Chain A
Amino acid sequence: MSEQSKKYLIQMKNVDKYFGEFQALKNINLEVERKERIVICGPSGSGKSTLIRCLNRLEKHNKGQVFIDGNELTDQIKDINAVRREVGMVFQSFNLFPHMTVVKNLMVAQQLVRKISKADAKQRAMHFLERVKIPEQANKYPIQLSGGQQQRVAIARALCMKPKIMLFDEPTSALDPEMINEVLEVMVDLATDGMTMICVTHEMGFARSVADRIIFMDLGEIVEESKPSEFFGNPKNERTKNFLEQILTH
């Protein structure tokens, strides 16, 4: 555990990722400090999901190093689940457990992974359901909720684990437009609270107001990395300019 990798909550050094012959990530270097809020954007297939999935080892990188809070993610890692429970993840498709009620969805990993008693798990679950403003849905099944509500439950489920980092992979892109804001509000609330976050999103309003840094990816590379004011006001790279033109005129 080097001093440097301990300083950053997340550190990626020269990371390559291949799917067979295809190189999905090319020499990725990324450092994230505590409480930093990063937005990643870029065209479809540019490797955004692959990048954040390498951070909780849903994908294994092939070259380079990934550190989470000083722990290097390797095949030799003794307990990947000890790292994973510190890294919350929210998926585009919610991925709530359909056979459990909302409150059970929030309790199950607390009890199994954090070894918290049922009563405490339930109390914490209700606390976070209130935080995402849907305590009244606790005893429903996920299918009985709207998309926006389901995604808020998914965020609450991740928060129940008290993670140090939250990863969001296009959390609003499967939602109807009228539900996007209710989810973004929860994310802004989290950011204000000091959560370290990496969000893959094309919600540029959110990026502008919340992000400390915006990362633009294309063809598996980080093409540009800058503060929102610079990113929107004065993008340096041609590809970033083209992307912004496309997305902002939509």
Chain B
Amino acid sequence: MIVDFTLIAESLPIMLKGIGITFQLLIISGFLGLILAIFLLLMRISGKWYLSFPAQIYIYVFRGTPILVQIFIIYYGLPQFGFIRSSILWSILREPMGCAIVALSLNTGAYVSEILRGGVLAVGKGLIEAGSALGMSAYQKFVYITAPIATRIALPAYSNDVISLLKSTALASTITIADMTGIARTIVANTYAPYEIFISLAIVYLIFTFILQKLFGYTEQYLGRYTKREG
């Protein structure tokens, strides 16, 4: 087969118009998901069953179902309920973008909270005891000892999740959103050239993944500076 480079050259700039939407999805959902994850984590490690149990159920449900199904439930399912349509949430859930951000945030929040919990559990018990022995309060120990160390430990797994979130943003195209993938699908529908368009699209995602990996790599190096003997 012959690769149509002019088609690629023509459609790439059009596809890249979707970058803004893709980034909005990534950054807003990533941020809201992280906030949610921290709440879930605190509930999970609170030691109180009435906080920890709901968090566990939540995490189970959102990790145990496909993200695409979650997006469909929120986009197609929730508007069926009158009380949703009359609530203030409706201003968000009325828009496909709102639905996508809600779904992606709820989903990534579940995963990230488990990643953070792994980090918290990996912080040495002896360090917490040292904090206690110095008279530090539970809050002080969490903020000054547990959190910074857990962040470093959790970062590699967290960066994985952010990359995974970047790719999940493509699913937003299934609910009419014109992110990069959404635009690509429109172009393919018009040109019948799936090969050129989707390969170029894949390359664009690869470039962004590469940039994310580098950013996280530097952050890991910075946070891990105290784990190396030289220096």
Contacts and interface: CB of A to CB of B under 8 A. Distances in A.
Given A141-B226, A143-B228, A144-B231, A113 B127 contact: no
B136 A112 contact: yes
A157 interface: yes
B145 A56 contact: no
B126 A109 contact: no
B229 A97 contact: no
A144 B227 CA distance: 9
Contacts of A88: 133
B135 A161 contact: yes
Contacts of A144: 229-231
A78 interface: no
B152 interface: yes
A108 to B, nearest CB: 6
A113 B137 CA distance: 8
Interface in B105-139: 124, 126-127, 129-137
A93 B140 CA distance: 22
Max count, chain A CB within 10 A of own CB: residue among B134, B136, B226: B134
A87 interface: yes
Contact of A113 (B124, B135, B145, B229): B135
A108 B144 contact: yes
Given A91-B126, A95-B129, A84 B226 contact: no
B129 A98 contact: no
Grouping DSSP codes into helix (H, G, I), strand (E, B) and loop, the B interface class, with mixed when no group exceeds half, is helix
B130 A95 contact: yes
A contact residues, range: 20 to 34
Nearest to B151: A99
Contacts of A81: 135-137
B129 A158 contact: no
A82 interface: yes
B149 interface: yes
A60 to B, nearest CB: 12
A99 B137 CA distance: 19
Contacts of A58: 129, 132-133
Contacts of B145: 97
A142 to B, nearest CB: 8
A108 B131 CA distance: 10
A120 to B, nearest CB: 17
Interface in A110-151: 112-113, 141-144
B148 interface: yes
Max count, chain A CB within 10 A of own CB: residue among B124, B126, B133, B230: B133
Contacts of A113: 134-136, 140
A71 B133 CA distance: 16
Given A58-B129, A141-B226, A99 B136 contact: no
A85 B149 contact: no
A88 B130 CA distance: 10
Nearest to B145: A97
Nearest to A91: B126
Contacts of B124: 95
B226 A56 contact: no
29 contacts: A56-B133, A81-B135, A84-B133, A84-B134, A84-B135, A87-B133, A91-B130, A95-B124, A95-B127, A95-B129, A96-B130, A97-B144, A98-B127, A98-B226, A98-B227, A99-B152, A99-B226, A100-B226, A112-B136, A112-B140, A113-B134, A113-B136, A141-B231, A143-B226, A143-B229, A154-B130, A157-B134, A158-B133, A161-B135
Interface of A: 56, 58, 81-82, 84-85, 87-89, 91, 93, 95-100, 108-109, 112-113, 141-144, 154, 157-158, 161
Nearest 7 pairs of A and B residues by beta carbon: A85-B135, A109-B134, A95-B130, A89-B133, A141-B226, A84-B135, A81-B135
